[in-house]
Amino acid sequence: MARTIIPFGPQHQVFPEPIHLKLVLEDEIVKEVVPALGYVHRGLEMLADVRDFHQMIQICERVCGICSTIHAQCYCQGIEELMGIEIPDRARFLRVIWAEIHRVQSHLLWLGLFADAFGFESLFMQCWKIREKIMDINEATGGNRVNPSINIIGGVKRDMNPDMAQWVLTQLDLVEKEVNHLEKVLLNDYTVKKRTVGKGVLTREKAMELGAVGPTLRGSGVEQDIRQIGYAAYGELAHRPVVGIDGDAYSRNRVRFLETLQAIALVREAVSKLPAGDISVKVKGKPEGEVVTRVEQPRGELMYYIKGNGGKNLDRLRIRTPTFANIPPLLSMLPGIELADVPVIVLSIDPCISCTER
Amino acid sequence: MFDMTPNILRNFFHKSSTRLYPKETRQAFGNARGELYNEIEACIFCRTCARKCPSQCITVDTKEATWQCDPFVCVYCGVCVENCPKKCLHQKNDYRKPVTDKEIIFMKGETKKKKCEGDPQET
Protein backbone atom coordinates (compact mmCIF):
# COMPACT_ATOMS: atom_id res chain seq x y z
CA MET A 1 0.00 0.00 0.00
CA ALA A 2 1.17 3.54 -0.73
CA ARG A 3 2.45 5.70 2.08
CA THR A 4 -0.20 7.55 4.08
CA ILE A 5 0.38 10.53 6.34
CA ILE A 6 -1.81 10.60 9.46
CA PRO A 7 -1.90 13.69 11.68
CA PHE A 8 -1.59 12.58 15.31
CA GLY A 9 -2.58 15.49 17.57
CA PRO A 10 -2.46 18.35 18.46
CA GLN A 11 -5.87 17.44 19.88
CA HIS A 12 -5.94 13.75 20.68
CA GLN A 13 -7.72 12.01 23.54
CA VAL A 14 -4.47 10.51 24.80
CA PHE A 15 -2.62 13.83 25.06
CA PRO A 16 -3.09 16.02 28.09
CA GLU A 17 -1.30 18.76 26.14
CA PRO A 18 -1.02 19.58 22.44
CA ILE A 19 1.77 18.13 20.33
CA HIS A 20 1.42 17.37 16.66
CA LEU A 21 3.07 14.31 15.11
CA LYS A 22 2.85 13.60 11.39
CA LEU A 23 2.96 9.83 11.13
CA VAL A 24 4.06 8.42 7.78
CA LEU A 25 2.46 4.97 7.63
CA GLU A 26 2.80 1.96 5.39
CA ASP A 27 0.19 -0.73 6.12
CA GLU A 28 -0.47 0.47 9.69
CA ILE A 29 3.25 0.46 10.42
CA VAL A 30 4.92 3.77 11.27
CA LYS A 31 7.79 4.51 8.91
CA GLU A 32 8.64 8.07 9.75
CA VAL A 33 7.60 10.71 12.30
CA VAL A 34 7.74 14.48 11.88
CA PRO A 35 7.00 16.48 15.06
CA ALA A 36 5.51 19.98 15.16
CA LEU A 37 5.73 21.94 18.39
CA GLY A 38 4.76 25.45 19.41
CA TYR A 39 1.04 25.26 20.22
CA VAL A 40 1.38 26.39 23.83
CA HIS A 41 4.37 28.74 23.73
CA ARG A 42 3.86 31.41 26.41
CA GLY A 43 7.12 33.36 26.27
CA LEU A 44 7.88 32.88 29.97
CA GLU A 45 11.63 33.27 29.49
CA MET A 46 11.11 36.77 28.04
CA LEU A 47 9.31 37.82 31.22
CA ALA A 48 12.75 37.94 32.87
CA ASP A 49 13.15 41.28 31.05
CA VAL A 50 10.18 42.90 32.78
CA ARG A 51 9.86 41.18 36.16
CA ASP A 52 12.53 41.43 38.82
CA PHE A 53 14.53 38.38 39.80
CA HIS A 54 12.45 37.76 42.95
CA GLN A 55 9.18 37.79 41.00
CA MET A 56 10.60 35.29 38.51
CA ILE A 57 10.30 32.54 41.16
CA GLN A 58 6.52 32.49 40.77
CA ILE A 59 6.83 32.64 36.99
CA CYS A 60 9.33 29.77 36.85
CA GLU A 61 7.00 27.79 39.07
CA ARG A 62 4.34 28.12 36.41
CA VAL A 63 6.52 26.75 33.60
CA CYS A 64 5.13 23.36 34.58
CA GLY A 65 2.14 22.70 36.78
CA ILE A 66 3.20 19.20 37.75
CA CYS A 67 6.77 19.87 38.85
CA SER A 68 6.30 23.49 39.92
CA THR A 69 8.30 23.33 43.16
CA ILE A 70 11.25 21.76 41.38
CA HIS A 71 11.34 24.54 38.74
CA ALA A 72 11.36 27.18 41.46
CA GLN A 73 14.02 25.24 43.36
CA CYS A 74 16.25 25.08 40.28
CA TYR A 75 15.85 28.81 39.63
CA CYS A 76 16.54 29.74 43.27
CA GLN A 77 19.55 27.41 43.32
CA GLY A 78 20.98 29.20 40.27
CA ILE A 79 20.45 32.69 41.67
CA GLU A 80 21.93 31.62 45.01
CA GLU A 81 25.00 30.31 43.19
CA LEU A 82 25.34 33.61 41.30
CA MET A 83 25.04 35.68 44.46
CA GLY A 84 27.18 33.34 46.57
CA ILE A 85 24.43 32.61 49.09
CA GLU A 86 24.76 29.58 51.36
CA ILE A 87 21.29 28.46 52.41
CA PRO A 88 20.68 26.95 55.90
CA ASP A 89 20.79 23.15 56.30
CA ARG A 90 17.15 22.99 57.34
CA ALA A 91 16.13 24.75 54.11
CA ARG A 92 18.12 22.23 52.03
CA PHE A 93 16.27 19.33 53.66
CA LEU A 94 12.89 21.04 53.38
CA ARG A 95 13.50 21.59 49.67
CA VAL A 96 14.17 17.86 49.27
CA ILE A 97 10.97 16.99 51.17
CA TRP A 98 8.78 19.18 48.96
CA ALA A 99 10.58 18.10 45.77
CA GLU A 100 10.08 14.41 46.58
CA ILE A 101 6.42 14.93 47.50
CA HIS A 102 6.08 16.54 44.08
CA ARG A 103 7.79 13.59 42.44
CA VAL A 104 5.28 11.20 44.02
CA GLN A 105 2.33 13.22 42.73
CA SER A 106 3.88 13.60 39.26
CA HIS A 107 4.58 9.87 38.94
CA LEU A 108 1.09 8.96 40.19
CA LEU A 109 -0.38 11.35 37.65
CA TRP A 110 1.70 9.75 34.91
CA LEU A 111 0.89 6.17 35.98
CA GLY A 112 -2.79 7.10 35.70
CA LEU A 113 -2.38 8.76 32.30
CA PHE A 114 -0.35 5.82 31.05
CA ALA A 115 -3.09 3.40 32.14
CA ASP A 116 -5.57 5.64 30.37
CA ALA A 117 -3.45 5.49 27.18
CA PHE A 118 -4.02 1.76 26.90
CA GLY A 119 -7.63 1.94 28.00
CA PHE A 120 -7.34 0.79 31.62
CA GLU A 121 -9.79 3.32 33.03
CA SER A 122 -10.20 1.84 36.52
CA LEU A 123 -6.42 1.86 37.06
CA PHE A 124 -6.30 5.49 35.88
CA MET A 125 -8.93 6.50 38.43
CA GLN A 126 -7.23 4.51 41.19
CA CYS A 127 -3.88 6.27 40.62
CA TRP A 128 -5.50 9.70 40.61
CA LYS A 129 -7.46 8.87 43.72
CA ILE A 130 -4.21 8.16 45.57
CA ARG A 131 -2.70 11.37 44.15
CA GLU A 132 -5.38 13.46 45.89
CA LYS A 133 -3.72 12.70 49.25
CA ILE A 134 -0.48 14.22 47.95
CA MET A 135 -2.33 17.31 46.76
CA ASP A 136 -3.75 17.65 50.28
CA ILE A 137 -0.23 17.38 51.73
CA ASN A 138 0.86 20.19 49.38
CA GLU A 139 -2.00 22.40 50.47
CA ALA A 140 -1.61 21.71 54.18
CA THR A 141 2.17 22.27 54.20
CA GLY A 142 2.89 24.67 51.36
CA GLY A 143 -0.40 26.54 51.14
CA ASN A 144 -1.53 25.66 47.63
CA ARG A 145 -2.35 22.39 45.92
CA VAL A 146 -0.41 22.78 42.68
CA ASN A 147 2.01 25.67 43.17
CA PRO A 148 3.00 25.57 46.86
CA SER A 149 5.35 28.52 46.28
CA ILE A 150 7.64 27.70 49.17
CA ASN A 151 11.02 28.40 47.56
CA ILE A 152 12.58 31.82 47.95
CA ILE A 153 16.06 33.04 47.18
CA GLY A 154 18.00 32.20 50.32
CA GLY A 155 15.96 29.22 51.50
CA VAL A 156 12.30 28.36 51.94
CA LYS A 157 9.46 30.48 53.25
CA ARG A 158 7.59 27.89 55.28
CA ASP A 159 8.77 25.63 58.03
CA MET A 160 7.52 22.19 58.92
CA ASN A 161 6.93 21.69 62.63
CA PRO A 162 7.23 18.17 64.15
CA ASP A 163 3.44 17.71 64.28
CA MET A 164 3.07 18.65 60.65
CA ALA A 165 5.99 16.40 59.66
CA GLN A 166 4.37 13.52 61.54
CA TRP A 167 1.06 14.15 59.77
CA VAL A 168 2.86 14.16 56.39
CA LEU A 169 4.51 10.83 57.23
CA THR A 170 1.16 9.32 58.27
CA GLN A 171 -0.41 10.44 55.00
CA LEU A 172 2.55 9.07 53.05
CA ASP A 173 2.17 5.72 54.83
CA LEU A 174 -1.39 5.57 53.53
CA VAL A 175 -0.22 6.54 50.03
CA GLU A 176 2.48 3.87 50.12
CA LYS A 177 0.01 1.23 51.23
CA GLU A 178 -2.34 2.09 48.39
CA VAL A 179 0.49 2.28 45.82
CA ASN A 180 1.62 -1.18 46.95
CA HIS A 181 -1.89 -2.48 46.23
CA LEU A 182 -1.31 -1.42 42.62
CA GLU A 183 2.07 -3.15 42.27
CA LYS A 184 0.59 -6.38 40.94
CA VAL A 185 -1.59 -4.51 38.48
CA LEU A 186 1.06 -2.17 37.12
CA LEU A 187 3.82 -4.75 36.88
CA ASN A 188 2.11 -8.11 36.34
CA ASP A 189 -1.31 -7.57 34.85
CA TYR A 190 -1.97 -9.27 31.52
CA THR A 191 -3.42 -6.13 29.88
CA VAL A 192 -0.54 -3.91 31.00
CA LYS A 193 2.09 -6.40 29.83
CA LYS A 194 0.34 -7.08 26.54
CA ARG A 195 0.32 -3.37 25.65
CA THR A 196 3.77 -2.39 26.94
CA VAL A 197 6.30 -5.26 26.88
CA GLY A 198 8.61 -4.96 23.87
CA LYS A 199 6.93 -1.76 22.66
CA GLY A 200 8.98 1.34 21.86
CA VAL A 201 12.38 -0.13 22.64
CA LEU A 202 15.18 2.37 23.22
CA THR A 203 18.53 0.66 23.53
CA ARG A 204 21.13 1.82 26.02
CA GLU A 205 23.45 3.03 23.22
CA LYS A 206 20.69 4.89 21.43
CA ALA A 207 19.51 6.51 24.68
CA MET A 208 23.03 7.77 25.37
CA GLU A 209 23.54 8.91 21.78
CA LEU A 210 20.28 10.87 21.60
CA GLY A 211 20.66 12.39 25.05
CA ALA A 212 17.62 10.87 26.78
CA VAL A 213 17.09 11.93 30.38
CA GLY A 214 15.24 10.78 33.47
CA PRO A 215 13.19 7.58 33.63
CA THR A 216 13.42 7.29 29.81
CA LEU A 217 17.19 7.00 30.13
CA ARG A 218 17.13 4.89 33.29
CA GLY A 219 14.56 2.55 31.73
CA SER A 220 17.22 1.74 29.13
CA GLY A 221 19.69 0.66 31.79
CA VAL A 222 21.76 3.82 32.33
CA GLU A 223 22.27 4.61 36.01
CA GLN A 224 22.20 8.37 35.72
CA ASP A 225 20.31 10.81 37.88
CA ILE A 226 21.15 14.43 38.70
CA ARG A 227 20.38 13.72 42.35
CA GLN A 228 23.65 11.76 42.34
CA ILE A 229 25.61 15.05 42.24
CA GLY A 230 24.17 15.75 45.70
CA TYR A 231 22.48 19.13 45.18
CA ALA A 232 20.25 20.42 48.03
CA ALA A 233 20.47 17.65 50.68
CA TYR A 234 20.61 14.64 48.35
CA GLY A 235 24.30 14.14 49.15
CA GLU A 236 23.36 13.29 52.74
CA LEU A 237 20.55 10.89 51.86
CA ALA A 238 20.78 7.28 50.74
CA HIS A 239 19.77 7.52 47.12
CA ARG A 240 20.48 5.16 44.28
CA PRO A 241 18.82 5.52 40.88
CA VAL A 242 16.17 2.97 39.90
CA VAL A 243 17.23 1.33 36.66
CA GLY A 244 15.37 -0.81 34.13
CA ILE A 245 16.97 -3.15 31.61
CA ASP A 246 14.87 -3.64 28.52
CA GLY A 247 14.30 0.00 27.47
CA ASP A 248 10.69 -0.66 26.44
CA ALA A 249 7.50 1.05 27.63
CA TYR A 250 7.08 -1.58 30.37
CA SER A 251 10.57 -0.87 31.69
CA ARG A 252 9.88 2.89 31.88
CA ASN A 253 6.59 2.13 33.66
CA ARG A 254 8.45 -0.05 36.17
CA VAL A 255 11.11 2.61 36.80
CA ARG A 256 8.47 5.25 37.54
CA PHE A 257 6.49 2.93 39.79
CA LEU A 258 9.57 2.07 41.85
CA GLU A 259 10.66 5.73 41.92
CA THR A 260 7.32 6.61 43.50
CA LEU A 261 8.09 4.29 46.41
CA GLN A 262 11.69 5.52 46.52
CA ALA A 263 10.53 9.15 46.74
CA ILE A 264 8.33 8.29 49.73
CA ALA A 265 11.33 6.62 51.39
CA LEU A 266 13.43 9.73 50.68
CA VAL A 267 10.84 11.99 52.35
CA ARG A 268 10.89 9.73 55.41
CA GLU A 269 14.67 9.83 55.57
CA ALA A 270 14.79 13.61 55.06
CA VAL A 271 12.23 14.16 57.84
CA SER A 272 14.19 11.92 60.20
CA LYS A 273 17.42 13.84 59.48
CA LEU A 274 15.80 17.30 59.41
CA PRO A 275 18.26 19.59 61.26
CA ALA A 276 17.14 22.42 63.52
CA GLY A 277 17.85 26.03 62.67
CA ASP A 278 16.80 28.83 60.36
CA ILE A 279 14.92 28.25 57.14
CA SER A 280 16.24 31.20 55.16
CA VAL A 281 18.97 33.81 55.06
CA LYS A 282 18.64 37.48 54.21
CA VAL A 283 19.48 38.32 50.61
CA LYS A 284 21.37 41.47 49.72
CA GLY A 285 22.54 42.66 46.31
CA LYS A 286 21.65 41.67 42.77
CA PRO A 287 22.75 38.68 40.67
CA GLU A 288 25.68 39.25 38.35
CA GLY A 289 27.41 36.78 36.03
CA GLU A 290 26.19 33.60 34.41
CA VAL A 291 25.42 30.16 35.73
CA VAL A 292 24.06 26.81 34.63
CA THR A 293 22.23 24.84 37.27
CA ARG A 294 20.62 21.41 37.15
CA VAL A 295 18.11 19.45 39.19
CA GLU A 296 16.28 16.17 38.71
CA GLN A 297 12.65 16.65 37.79
CA PRO A 298 10.21 13.69 37.79
CA ARG A 299 10.73 13.59 34.00
CA GLY A 300 14.50 13.93 34.09
CA GLU A 301 17.24 16.51 34.10
CA LEU A 302 16.10 20.13 34.23
CA MET A 303 18.62 22.80 33.31
CA TYR A 304 18.49 26.56 33.88
CA TYR A 305 20.89 29.03 32.34
CA ILE A 306 20.78 32.38 34.12
CA LYS A 307 22.68 35.53 33.18
CA GLY A 308 22.50 38.52 35.50
CA ASN A 309 23.90 42.01 34.90
CA GLY A 310 23.88 43.33 38.44
CA GLY A 311 20.44 44.91 37.97
CA LYS A 312 17.05 43.79 39.22
CA ASN A 313 16.14 42.20 35.85
CA LEU A 314 18.01 39.25 34.43
CA ASP A 315 19.79 39.52 31.09
CA ARG A 316 18.79 36.04 30.00
CA LEU A 317 16.94 33.07 31.37
CA ARG A 318 17.00 29.84 29.39
CA ILE A 319 15.17 26.73 30.51
CA ARG A 320 15.95 23.28 29.08
CA THR A 321 13.23 20.91 30.19
CA PRO A 322 13.45 17.09 30.22
CA THR A 323 10.72 16.55 27.62
CA PHE A 324 12.70 18.68 25.16
CA ALA A 325 15.60 16.24 25.58
CA ASN A 326 13.32 13.22 25.31
CA ILE A 327 11.71 14.13 21.98
CA PRO A 328 14.60 12.85 19.76
CA PRO A 329 14.57 9.46 21.59
CA LEU A 330 10.77 9.35 21.12
CA LEU A 331 11.15 9.90 17.39
CA SER A 332 13.61 7.01 17.22
CA MET A 333 11.24 4.69 19.16
CA LEU A 334 8.23 5.15 16.88
CA PRO A 335 9.36 3.85 13.44
CA GLY A 336 8.52 0.16 13.01
CA ILE A 337 5.60 0.03 15.45
CA GLU A 338 1.88 -0.27 14.76
CA LEU A 339 -0.35 2.80 14.71
CA ALA A 340 -2.39 1.47 17.66
CA ASP A 341 0.73 1.45 19.85
CA VAL A 342 1.70 5.07 19.14
CA PRO A 343 -0.30 6.57 22.08
CA VAL A 344 1.32 4.19 24.56
CA ILE A 345 4.84 4.89 23.29
CA VAL A 346 4.32 8.67 23.23
CA LEU A 347 2.96 8.63 26.78
CA SER A 348 5.83 6.41 27.94
CA ILE A 349 8.30 9.33 27.83
CA ASP A 350 5.91 11.34 30.07
CA PRO A 351 5.60 14.27 27.67
CA CYS A 352 5.09 17.70 29.23
CA ILE A 353 4.53 20.00 26.29
CA SER A 354 3.88 23.25 28.17
CA CYS A 355 7.23 22.70 29.89
CA THR A 356 8.98 22.14 26.58
CA GLU A 357 7.54 25.22 24.91
CA ARG A 358 7.66 27.42 28.02
CA MET B 1 -5.36 -11.91 34.89
CA PHE B 2 -7.66 -10.42 37.55
CA ASP B 3 -5.07 -8.36 39.42
CA MET B 4 -7.27 -5.26 39.55
CA THR B 5 -10.25 -7.14 41.05
CA PRO B 6 -9.13 -6.91 44.73
CA ASN B 7 -8.77 -3.11 44.32
CA ILE B 8 -12.21 -2.83 42.78
CA LEU B 9 -13.75 -4.92 45.59
CA ARG B 10 -11.92 -2.84 48.21
CA ASN B 11 -13.30 0.36 46.68
CA PHE B 12 -16.74 -1.17 46.54
CA PHE B 13 -16.84 -1.79 50.28
CA HIS B 14 -15.14 1.47 51.29
CA LYS B 15 -16.76 4.84 51.68
CA SER B 16 -16.85 7.07 48.63
CA SER B 17 -13.64 8.91 47.66
CA THR B 18 -15.51 11.92 46.33
CA ARG B 19 -17.78 14.48 47.98
CA LEU B 20 -21.11 15.83 46.88
CA TYR B 21 -19.66 19.26 46.13
CA PRO B 22 -20.92 22.00 46.63
CA LYS B 23 -23.35 20.49 49.17
CA GLU B 24 -20.51 18.91 51.10
CA THR B 25 -17.14 20.68 51.38
CA ARG B 26 -13.92 19.86 53.14
CA GLN B 27 -12.73 22.21 55.84
CA ALA B 28 -9.84 24.33 54.59
CA PHE B 29 -6.36 23.60 55.93
CA GLY B 30 -5.05 26.11 58.44
CA ASN B 31 -2.00 26.93 56.31
CA ALA B 32 -3.81 27.25 53.00
CA ARG B 33 -3.42 30.51 51.09
CA GLY B 34 -6.87 31.56 49.96
CA GLU B 35 -8.76 34.75 49.28
CA LEU B 36 -6.86 38.02 49.77
CA TYR B 37 -8.34 40.85 51.83
CA ASN B 38 -7.12 44.19 53.09
CA GLU B 39 -7.85 45.87 56.42
CA ILE B 40 -8.23 49.21 54.73
CA GLU B 41 -8.25 51.25 57.98
CA ALA B 42 -4.67 50.18 58.70
CA CYS B 43 -3.40 50.48 55.10
CA ILE B 44 -0.96 53.32 54.40
CA PHE B 45 -1.17 52.92 50.59
CA CYS B 46 2.60 52.54 50.29
CA ARG B 47 2.30 50.43 47.10
CA THR B 48 4.73 47.73 48.34
CA CYS B 49 2.17 45.02 47.58
CA ALA B 50 1.61 46.34 44.04
CA ARG B 51 5.35 46.48 43.39
CA LYS B 52 6.13 43.02 44.74
CA CYS B 53 3.16 41.17 43.18
CA PRO B 54 4.47 38.83 40.44
CA SER B 55 1.13 38.81 38.60
CA GLN B 56 0.55 42.57 39.06
CA CYS B 57 -3.02 42.13 40.24
CA ILE B 58 -2.93 44.98 42.79
CA THR B 59 -3.32 48.68 41.94
CA VAL B 60 -2.85 51.31 44.64
CA ASP B 61 -3.53 55.01 44.33
CA THR B 62 -1.80 56.88 47.14
CA LYS B 63 -3.42 60.26 46.43
CA GLU B 64 -6.95 58.91 46.26
CA ALA B 65 -6.29 56.32 49.01
CA THR B 66 -7.69 53.43 46.99
CA TRP B 67 -6.61 49.83 46.90
CA GLN B 68 -7.89 47.44 44.26
CA CYS B 69 -7.17 43.84 43.38
CA ASP B 70 -8.22 41.73 40.44
CA PRO B 71 -8.92 38.34 42.06
CA PHE B 72 -8.90 36.61 38.66
CA VAL B 73 -5.28 37.63 38.08
CA CYS B 74 -4.11 36.84 41.64
CA VAL B 75 -2.04 33.63 41.83
CA TYR B 76 -2.37 33.19 45.63
CA CYS B 77 1.40 33.25 46.14
CA GLY B 78 1.23 35.35 49.30
CA VAL B 79 4.15 37.64 48.42
CA CYS B 80 2.10 40.80 49.12
CA VAL B 81 1.05 39.50 52.55
CA GLU B 82 4.66 38.75 53.51
CA ASN B 83 5.91 42.15 52.38
CA CYS B 84 3.15 44.37 53.79
CA PRO B 85 4.86 46.81 56.23
CA LYS B 86 1.66 47.38 58.24
CA LYS B 87 0.59 43.70 58.17
CA CYS B 88 -2.86 44.78 57.04
CA LEU B 89 -3.03 42.31 54.12
CA HIS B 90 -4.29 38.85 54.97
CA GLN B 91 -5.28 35.68 53.22
CA LYS B 92 -8.23 33.58 54.27
CA ASN B 93 -7.87 29.82 54.25
CA ASP B 94 -10.78 29.38 51.85
CA TYR B 95 -10.67 29.99 48.12
CA ARG B 96 -13.05 32.41 46.46
CA LYS B 97 -16.36 30.93 45.46
CA PRO B 98 -17.07 30.65 41.74
CA VAL B 99 -18.96 33.63 40.32
CA THR B 100 -20.77 34.33 37.07
CA ASP B 101 -19.38 37.83 36.51
CA LYS B 102 -15.87 39.17 36.75
CA GLU B 103 -15.36 41.66 39.51
CA ILE B 104 -12.57 43.77 40.98
CA ILE B 105 -12.12 44.16 44.73
CA PHE B 106 -12.17 47.91 45.30
CA MET B 107 -11.46 49.53 48.67
CA LYS B 108 -11.26 53.16 49.62
CA GLY B 109 -9.55 54.37 52.77
CA GLU B 110 -8.77 57.72 54.26
CA THR B 111 -5.82 59.79 53.07
CA LYS B 112 -3.24 59.94 55.83
CA LYS B 113 -2.31 63.45 56.89
CA LYS B 114 0.82 62.72 58.84
CA LYS B 115 4.01 61.39 57.27
CA CYS B 116 3.87 57.67 56.51
CA GLU B 117 6.88 55.44 56.26
CA GLY B 118 7.42 54.11 52.76
CA ASP B 119 4.96 56.53 51.16
CA PRO B 120 6.73 57.80 48.05
CA GLN B 121 4.44 60.82 47.77
CA GLU B 122 5.21 62.22 51.16
CA THR B 123 8.73 61.14 52.05
The pLDDT of residue B13 is above 50: yes
Q: Chain B partners of A184 at a C-beta cutoff of 8 Å?
A: 3
What pLDDT does B31 receive? Answer: 85
Task: Identify the helix (H) or strand (E) that includes residue A210.
Answer: helix A204-210
What pLDDT does A306 receive? Answer: 92
Q: How far apart are the first and last CA of chain A?
A: 40
Domain extent at residue A104: 42-345
What pLDDT does B115 receive? Answer: 53
The pLDDT of residue A350 is above 90: no
The answer to whether position A1 is within a domain reads: no
The answer to whether position A352 is within a domain reads: no
* A55-114 residues touching B, CB cutoff 8 A: 55-59, 62
| A126-161: pLDDT as tens digits | 999 999 999 999 999 988 888 888 899 988 988 888
ipTM of the shown complex? 0.80
Give the whole-number percent of chain A exceeding pLDDT 70: 100
**DSSP letters of B105-119?**
EEEE-PPP-S--TT-
What pLDDT does A270 receive? Answer: 92
Q: What are the Cα distances from residue B57, in Å, to A19, A250, A281, B54, B92? A: 32, 46, 28, 8, 17
The answer to whether position A11 is within a domain reads: no
How sure is the predictor about B117, in pLDDT bands with cuts at 50, 70 and 90? low
- Report the pLDDT averaged over residues B14-24: 86
Kindly tell me the burial class for residue A109, based on how many C-beta atoms sit within 10 Å of its own C-beta (0-12, 13-18, 19 or more): buried
> In chain B, what are the domain boundaries?
28-108
The pLDDT of residue A171 is above 70: yes
Would the pTM of this model clear 0.80, i.e. be above it?
Answer: yes
Total of domains in chain A: 1
What pLDDT does B106 receive? Answer: 86
| A246-291: pLDDT as tens digits | 889 999 999 999 999 999 999 999 999 989 888 888 888 888 889 9
The pLDDT of residue A99 is above 70: yes
* Cα–Cα distance, A268 to A104 (Å, whole number): 13
Q: What are the Cα distances from residue B49, in Å, to A152, A346, B72, B86? A: 17, 44, 17, 11
* Cα–Cα distance, A49 to A56 (Å, whole number): 10
What is the pLDDT of chain A when averaged over all its residues? 89
How sure is the predictor about B16, in pLDDT bands with cuts at 50, 70 and 90? confident
| A321-336: pLDDT as tens digits | 999 999 999 999 988 8
Lowest model confidence (mean pLDDT) among A300-304, B13-17, B47-51: B13-17
CATH of the domain at A159: 1.10.645.10
* Residue A123 to residue B4, Cβ atoms within 8 A: yes
What pLDDT does B118 receive? Answer: 54
B18-50 burial string, b = 16+ CB within 10 Å, else e? eeeeeeeeeeebeebbbbbebeeeebbbbbbbb
The answer to whether position A97 is within a domain reads: yes
* Cα–Cα distance, A231 to A282 (Å, whole number): 21
Residue of A nearest to B79 (CA): A55
Candidates A44, A55, A122: best to mutate against B (most CBs of B within 10 A) is A55
Q: Chain A partners of B53 at a C-beta cutoff of 8 Å?
A: 55
Q: B11 — contact with chain A (CB < 8 Å)?
A: yes
DSSP 3-state assignment of B93?
A: coil
Q: How close is the nearest chain B Cα to the Cα of A338, in Å?
A: 24
* Amino acid letter for position A310: G
The answer to whether position A92 is within a domain reads: yes
Residue of B nearest to A53 (CA): B54
The CATH number that domain B28-108 falls under is 3.30.70.3270
Q: How close is the nearest chain B Cα to the Cα of A225, in Å?
A: 30
Q: How close is the nearest chain A Cα to the Cα of B97, in Å?
A: 16
Q: A185 — contact with chain B (CB < 8 Å)?
A: yes
Q: Chain A partners of B5 at a C-beta cutoff of 8 Å?
A: none
| A183-222: pLDDT as tens digits | 888 888 888 888 889 888 889 999 999 989 999 999 998 9
What pLDDT does B114 receive? Answer: 55
| A103-119: pLDDT as tens digits | 999 999 999 999 988 88
What pLDDT does B62 receive? Answer: 86
